[in-house]
Structure 1
Amino acid sequence: MSDSLDSLESTASGLRICRADYRNPVHADALVRLLDAYAQDPAGGGEALSAFAKSNLVNELAARPQAFSVLAFSGDEAVGLVNCIEGFSTFACRPLVNIHDVAVLVSHRGQRVAEQMLALVDEIARERGACKLTLEVLAGNASAVRLYERVGFAGYQLDPAMGRAQFFQKWLA
């Protein structure tokens, strides 16, 4: 992979945006800390990650070639995270990338950290030959909705007469 898809420097904001290396202890620690902070936020459900998730998350992501993560650093401090999982569009017969988590520390929100991370996600998805990016967002997270619309996302529908798609889940365990 080219260096351009491993890291983006933003001198204007002082941020370094990079593809996470799950074998790098600094990246691994940042990923778990940022995801735990997001999980504890109301937008993430308001509960800390389980001890199991904290202990196993990085190894489980590393074991899945369809997974990748992007991190944002301000100096040495990790301030943002995006976790992605490659899926497959049967209609397009091409990969797609689902943006599963977008997290930015409260101290760095409103500084376009997520926008810069999503730019690298877009590049990586294109490198993988993906036909689209997908994500889900809580309707009450107005700032996230504005961000996603600003960077080109829109609600999903096939036929306007059938309405917009809804996101459902069913827990198995």
Structure 2
Amino acid sequence: MEEAKDILVLQASYTNPVHAEAICHVLNGYAEDPMGIGRPLAPEVLLHLPEELAKRPYAFSVLAFVNGEPAGLVNCFEGFSTFACRPLVNIHDVAVMKAFRGLGLSQQMLRKVEDIARQRGCCKITLEVLEGNAVAQASYARFGFSAGMFDPEHGRMLFWTKFL
């Protein structure tokens, strides 16, 4: 018989040492994954990330713990929709540690993000996903996300980057 899983999904407190450590642990696991950057984060990033997130009033994170172990993370930043004149939430990172995949954690964390977005009066939630990450795309589609588009005649929105 499979062991019962005690799953806890919550909004992280950046000043809580357990949450801060969990954020760094899961984000580093995501960074090491091929769908991340394929290598660990720099030690100085891990050392300062929670305190830097705490300085940003429009940042929030959702954590998932399974049997007390850090298992998942969603990092979010509030933005603003000029077309709706309302805030929005951009999901910057979604990560589930390899050992905890298949438990539905991403769906549970996305529900928590949506609850927070609704509490903040947001008009939408946005995210970026790699073109080759079919598993993540299926998860997001199952939650109700679709390719960004105003008018099909003009095509989908694209996410571009310029590194500084």
Question: What TM bracket, shorter-length normalisation?
Answer: over 0.9
- 2:35 aligns to what SS in structure 1? helix
Aligned: 1:102 with 2:94: yes
Maintained 8 Å contact 2:27/2:73: yes
Task: Tell me the residue number matched to 1:9.
Answer: none
Question: CA offset at residue 37 of structure 1?
Answer: 0.5
> Which residue of the partner structure matches residue 89 of structure 1?
81
| 1:24 aligned to which of 16, 29, 42 | 16
Corresponding residue for 1:161?
Answer: 153
Q: How much identity, in percent, do the aligned residues show?
A: 55
Gaps of 5+ in 1: 1-11
User: Residues of 1 paired with 2:102 and 2:35: CA distance?
Assistant: 15
What is the alpha-carbon root mean square deviation over aligned residues? 1.0
Shift of 1:14: 2.4
Deviation at 1:82, TM superposition (A): 0.4
Match of 1:58 in 2: 50
> Does 1:68 pair with 2:51?
no
Match of 1:4 in 2: none
Q: Does 1:141 align with 2:120?
A: no
Matches within 5 A, 1:41-56: 41-56=33-48
1:104, CA displacement in angstroms?
A: 0.3
> What TM-score, normalized by structure 1, do the two folds share?
0.91
Q: Could you report, residue by residue, the CA deviation over 1:109-135 in whole angstroms, capped at 9, with x for unpaired residues?
A: 121111000000000000011100000
Q: Determine which of 97, 105, 108 is the counterpart of 1:113.
A: 105
Q: Distance in 2 between matches of 1:72 and 1:78?
A: 6
**Residue 76 (structure 1) shift:** 1.4
1:131 aligns with 2:123: yes
Gap regions ≥5 residues in structure 2: none
Equivalents in 2 of 1:94, 1:52: separation in Å? Answer: 35
Structure-2-length-normalised TM-score: 0.96
Runs of 4+ in 1 over 2 A off after TM superposition: none
How far residue 139 of structure 1 moved from its aligned partner, in angstroms, is: 1.3
CA distance, structure 1, for counterparts of residue 66 and residue 102 of structure 2: 14
Aligned residue pair count? 161
Q: Distance in 1 between matches of 2:5 and 2:129?
A: 26
12-21 vs 69-78, greater mean Cα deviation: 12-21
Residue type at the aligned position of 1:48 = P
Counting only pairs closer than 5 Å after superposition, residues 30-41 of structure 1 correspond to structure 2 as 30-41=22-33
